[in-house]
Amino acid sequence: MKKKFFLAILLALFLSQSAYAYWIWTPESKRWTNPKFAPKESPQEQLQFAKSYYDAKDYTTALNEFKKLVKYYSDALEAPEAQYYMGLCLEELGKHYEAYLAYQKIIDKYPFSQRTGDVLQREYIVAQKLLDFKKRVAGIDFTAENTAIDIFRKIIENAPYGKYAAASQYKIGLTLKAKGYFTEANDEFQKVLDSYPESEWAEPAKFQIALCAAKSSLDSSYDQTLTQEAQDKFKQFLEVHPEAELSKEADVRLDELKGKEAQSNFEIGRFYEKQKAYDSAKIYYNYVMKNFPKSTWAQKALGRMQDMERKQK
């Protein structure tokens, strides 16, 4: 019995020492703290300690150590730096949206940080990565274009005339165009011209506006208003930027639109011909032959004209 009592005392002492090895009473905070989870004695030491893990590419541990600095030394000069590195760690771990949230906290909480320019750059890069994100689950593709658009908008809000504002505005239009929202995309490209007319993105924005008009015109068979509008925009682009790299593509697109206009007028002529309204049909066939003489539609229009003449004899 005495032996069991003695062993129990020894066990209690061992457990007590073990516990006190990890938990220490601090008079300043008047609570027990575990050194294992506590930060270093100064924000400078904690920053260097966390960076050592980052340099070793142990991003999970580094992230936790940077979090300690922000939590325990939130007002220190090192806090925004730790917050920035949190974003870098999250990027390395493939958590791009969480990285954006970490970067945005620097803008929101530490607006005078020297890292502001770097933050805008990282946010732009994160948005680009999200544009390329695609995950297939149960046969369904999940993308992150809408999230990327939100981040691009936030970049513009953070610095309306900053280095990445015009590019972000252009990418919003490009993303919407890729999704088939041509009217909305056109509006976003127009914002590039309105807000950043001297930027490197203004010229391609003009071209994209013409492309949006061309894409919209594809939905119309007989009404050529949109097709004509698209042609006008491409012509304007070629007049202002005859030497631009995009001008060659503009020429190709313009030819496609002319072909579409010729086809549409030919089909209107065919409609009237089938209704035996030959005079109306001739008006459209003649229009095609006169305005698009080198097109295949002009040859077809000539053939229909000759066929109608034979029928009327």
CATH topology of domain 38-115: 1.25.40
Q: Which has the higher per-residue pLDDT, 210 or 170?
A: 170
> Which whole number is the average pLDDT over 139-163?
87
pLDDT band at 180 (very low <50, low <70, confident <90, very high): confident
Q: Which has the higher per-residue pLDDT, 225 or 292?
A: 292
Task: State pLDDT tens for residues 99-115.
Answer: 999 999 999 999 889 99
- Whether the pLDDT of residue 220 is over 50: the answer is no
Q: Compute CA distances 205 → 117, 130, 160, 226, 227, whole Å.
A: 25, 22, 18, 19, 19
Q: Where does 133-209 sit in CATH, by number?
A: 1.25.40.10
Structure tokens at 134: 């695609």
- Whether the pLDDT of residue 232 is over 50: the answer is yes
Per-domain residue ranges of the chain: 38-115, 133-209
Average pLDDT of the chain to the nearest whole number: 79
Parallel, antiparallel, or unpaired for β 31-33 and 24-26? antiparallel
pLDDT for residue 71: 94
Task: State pLDDT tens for residues 182-207.
Answer: 889 989 999 999 999 999 898 888 87
**Percent of all residues in the chain with a pLDDT value above 90, rounded to a whole number:** 43
pLDDT for residue 3: 55
pLDDT for residue 13: 45
pLDDT for residue 224: 54
pLDDT for residue 103: 97
Task: State pLDDT tens for residues 66-101.
Answer: 999 999 999 999 999 999 999 999 999 999 999 999
Q: Residue 176 belongs to what H/E stretch?
A: helix 165-178
Cβ neighbours of residue 270 under 8 Å, at least 6 residues apart? 281, 304
| Report field, pTM of the whole predicted structure over 0.85 | no
Q: Rounded to 5 degrees, what are φ and ψ at 134? A: -150, 130
10 Å CB burial of residue 279 (0-12, 13-18, 19+) is: exposed
DSSP tag of 187: H
Backbone torsion region of residue 57, taken as left when φ is above 0, otherwise alpha when ψ lies between -120 and 50, otherwise beta? left
- Whether the pLDDT of residue 53 is over 60: the answer is yes
pLDDT for residue 39: 76
- Contact, 93 vs 59, CB < 8 A? yes
Q: Which has the higher per-residue pLDDT, 165 or 19?
A: 165
53-57, 161-165, 250-254: the lowest-pLDDT one: 250-254
Q: Which has the higher per-residue pLDDT, 162 or 141?
A: 162
- Contact, 62 vs 91, CB < 8 A? no
- Contact, 117 vs 163, CB < 8 A? yes
Q: Angle at Cα 113 formed by Cα 82 and Cα 86, nearest 5°?
A: 20
Q: Which has the higher per-residue pLDDT, 137 or 83?
A: 83
